[in-house]
Structure 1
Amino acid sequence: MSLTEKLEATVSFMKEQGVGDVEFGLILGSGLGELAEEIEEAIVIPYDQIPHFPISTVVGHAGQLVYGTLSGKKVLAMQGRFHYYEGHSMQTVTYPVRVMKALAAHSVIVTNACGGVNITFTPGDLMLITDQINFMGDNPLMGENEEEMGPRFPDMSQAYTLSYREAAKKVAEAKGLHLKEGVYMGFSGPTYETPAEIRFARTIGADAVGMSTVPEVIVAAHSGMKVLGISCITNLAAGMQANLNHEEVVETTQRVKAEFKALIKETLAVL
């Protein structure tokens, strides 16, 4: 079955559930899914009911789509994403972005919990993603290109939309939030990086490292969508603190979730 045929089946099912046109797709990372609970007139669809949708297996990810209105915009939010390290193909990981585009979304807001590589960062910081490095060893656009989806060789020089970044910075400033900025580097996972890998990441220009986001943004760029990316720095990367664990990731996102939700909602209102 072709990607186009799969998308037709998925979109048809979602429309039967009452999902209409989407303006913004939201991809909510580990511990950040609570934002979807603030969506008004919400239609909630568990992933396991949606044709051609995989299942999310990570703690801190609810595993459902939520459609409705947030900050006056029609949104489709993923409460929990899919990761390459779960054994999914890159095409599967990014399938929800294709679905958002097929439902007429012009933009996507991606969020994640990640490790801070920049020595000026501290756990709990929010970082506006300015650019990315794909170090995952794969690319979701490998294989045959379906021209109606996007070009064979998409331009990634403006993957994170400048005007959206400026809007987020203004909102943060008005709220007195100290919003960091930086480059996100995607590793495949599921192991956390070694101290040597972190020294390498810093050397080549990364400010934060994680195991998501990069493939989704590649597909968003391929689809011609605008992108805003916000990372929650949940821990300092390997070699910068004693040890790393997922509990700390979820704990830190809980601590900063009010700031995070306010930043996303108020930025969404002005986009």
Structure 2
Amino acid sequence: MNSTHMLLFCLRERLLDSDVISLACFLVEDLRASSPADLSHDEYQTAADWLRTHTRHRPEVAIICGSGLGMLADTLGCQESFAYSDVPGFPQSTVQGHAGRLVFGVLKGKMCVCMQGRFHMYEGHTLSKTTFPVRVFKLLGVKTLIVTNAAGSLADGLQPGDIMIIKDHINFPGFVGLNPLIGPNDDKFGPRFPAMSNCYDKELRCLATEIGKQLEITGLMREGVYAMVGGPNFESIAEARLLHRLGVDAVGMSTAPEVVVATHCGLRVFGLSLITNKVVKTYEDSDSVNHEGVLEVSRLRSVTVQQLVTELIGKMDINNNGPNDAGTKF
């Protein structure tokens, strides 16, 4: 019995209703069946060394921008940018709304690097390639990773345009063996069995909430649980109902693998989801979602997200690595 069959068996024992019928499709839809290809430490080091020789910046904070949120990079001063195709080992981003470049610069007195466009499993990348930049950032000296994404709302209290601070995640691909840490463990980055119970830094979440009050946007903000599914299709109604029943507030197709690797590396992590659509949960609802609509909501709320992240970077203690610091030495 493989991991997928075992998971389905366990869920059938617990969930005895019609939603389970579509669970198999939900779990394996567009997921790559093979384990991620292993990358050597030298490959990460080669990319980091190339960037060190091409930029004077030594970033302390890295920001991964979700769909339509690449404008965060525009806030950086003293910019230097590189196309992903120029950096050794970097995959290419193929999704609309993801520019595909690294931008180095200064924000609120702190050295930062911003990814304008991330990589997704559904593009055909292995998870080791999807998360490749995170380990490169670690080797560059980054201490804190900020991840943003566009997500669909399952919670009744979350509306398009709202901002959800991620307090936890459910990594559905990981349930069926699609985990970026599969393969020989690289002890230079972190332990074989990293804990994920504190992967979203509590202090940064509290700080973001306080900043929201100062910016008078608390009406747009709440904390919640994010779930990653494989994509690239949006969820069926039965899948949406199942996710809602499991306690998911927002769903998307990214973020969890990057956070797993960042936590393994000992980075502090702050995550937020910009809610771009309501996930359809009833058969009477005639609405449907499309990527163009996602990008439009991202554009309309871009300034607010930019302000929140900018103030967070300005006020965070860059030297406080929090409970997730693995003390890795290179």
Global fold match (TM > 0.5): yes
In the TM superposition, what are the counterparts of 1:72-91 in structure 2 within 5 Å?
A: 72-91=109-128
Structure 1 runs of 4+ with >4 Å offset = none
CA distance in 1 between partners of 2:239 and 2:56 (Å): 43
Q: Please say if 1:213 is aligned against 2:255.
A: yes
Q: After superposition, where does 1:13-28 map in structure 2 within 5 Å?
A: 13-28=50-65
Task: Report the counterpart of residue 170 of structure 2 in structure 1.
Answer: 133
Counterpart for residue 234 of structure 1: 276
Letter aligned with residue 187 of structure 1: V
Once the two structures are superposed, the pairs formed by residues 130-209 of structure 1 within 5 Å of their partners are: 130-136=167-173, 137=176, 138-178=178-218, 179-209=221-251
Give the letter for the 1:5 counterpart.
D
Query: Is the CA contact 1:192–1:238 (under 8 Å) kept in the aligned structure 2?
Result: no
Check conservation: 1:115, 1:208, Cα contact below 8 A: yes
Alpha-carbon RMSD = 1.1
Identify if the C-alpha distance between structure 1 residues 2 and 216 changes in structure 2 by more than 3 Å, giving closer, same or farther.
Answer: closer
* Other-structure match for 1:255: 300
Measure, in 2, the Cα distance between the counterparts of 1:232 and 1:190.
18
Q: Distance in 2 between matches of 1:107 and 1:253?
A: 24
Q: Which has the larger radius of gyration?
A: 2
Structure 2, unaligned runs of 5 or more:
1-37, 317-330
SS of aligned partner of 2:104: strand
Counterpart in the other structure of 1:45: 82
**How far did 1:2 drift?**
4.7
Give me the whole-angstrom Cα distance separating, in 1, the residues matched to 2:303 and 2:144.
23
Q: 3-state DSSP class of the match of 1:45?
A: strand
SS across alignment from 2:62: strand
TM-score by length of 1: 0.98
Could you tell me how far apart the structure 2 residues matched to 1:214 and 1:28 are?
A: 14
Pair 1:101–1:186, CA change in 2 (3 A): same
Higher helix share: 2
Segments of 5+ residues of structure 1 without an aligned counterpart are none
Structure 2: distance between partners of 1:238 and 1:65: 35
Q: Distance in 1 between matches of 2:185 and 2:127?
A: 14
**Post-superposition offset of 1:19:** 4.3
TM normalised by structure 2 equals 0.80
Provide the secondary structure at the position in 1 that maps to 2:81. Answer: strand
Q: Secondary structure at the match of 1:76?
A: strand
Say whether 1:104 aligns with 2:141.
yes
Separation of aligned partners in 2, 1:2 and 1:92: 8
SS of equivalent residue, structure 1 residue 51: coil
| CA distance in 2 between partners of 1:245 and 1:10 (Å) | 35
